[in-house]
Amino acid sequence: MGTMPSTETSIARITRTASHVVETRFKPGAMVGEAGLRENIRERRSLCGEVPHVMLAVVPEGTAFSADIMRTDAFHYDGPRADLRAIAVVADGPMTQMIMKLYFGCFPQVSRTRLFTRESEARDWLRSQLLESGFAEN
């Protein structure tokens, strides 16, 4: 893909690392709320357009979460969500893992979604999701 298109939001760096792969790395100490998640979704969609893709989201320990994220499914505003085929979330630390489990329990996603503690396992799973969707990535 040559240079990797990337953008920064108030809470994360989002990079299109391959034709069908986007990585969202939340900033350490970021306060994640509905507005920030919507901003991330807009930026991810601007990087990918209507190209089907999978997303690796890395949430470091110490990331703070606003209570408003538990009131709204931020991905509901993602438009035609069929473009996002799978979400692998790497949650660092037990509190972050618990919040992610609670969020995805309250708001089941249309896309396949799975929580991981190790990035290597998340990447392996996303590769399998790409293959199942008929896409191959390096």
The full set of domain ranges for the chain reads 6-132
pLDDT tens string 93-108: 898 899 889 888 888 7
Q: What is the mean pLDDT of the chain?
A: 87
Q: Are 101 and 115 in contact (CB under 8 A)?
A: yes
CA distance 9 to 2: 23
pLDDT tens string 24-65: 999 999 999 989 988 998 899 899 888 889 999 999 988 999
The pLDDT of residue 80: 53
The pLDDT of residue 1: 52
77 pLDDT tier (thresholds 50, 70, 90) = low
HEC profile of the chain: CCCCCEEECCCEEEEEEECCEEEEEECCCCEECHHHHHHHHHHHHHHHCCCCEEEEEEECCCCEECHHHHCCCHHHHCCCHHHEEEEEEEECCHHHHHHHHHHHHHCCCCCEEEEECCHHHHHHHHHHHHHHCCCCCC
The pLDDT of residue 104: 84
Q: What share of the chain in percent tops pLDDT 90?
A: 48
119 pLDDT tier (thresholds 50, 70, 90) = very high
**Which residues lie below 8 Å from residue 58, measured CB to CB, with a gap of 6+?**
23, 24, 25, 26, 90, 92, 119
**6-132 has which fold?**
Transcription Regulator spoIIAA (3.30.750)
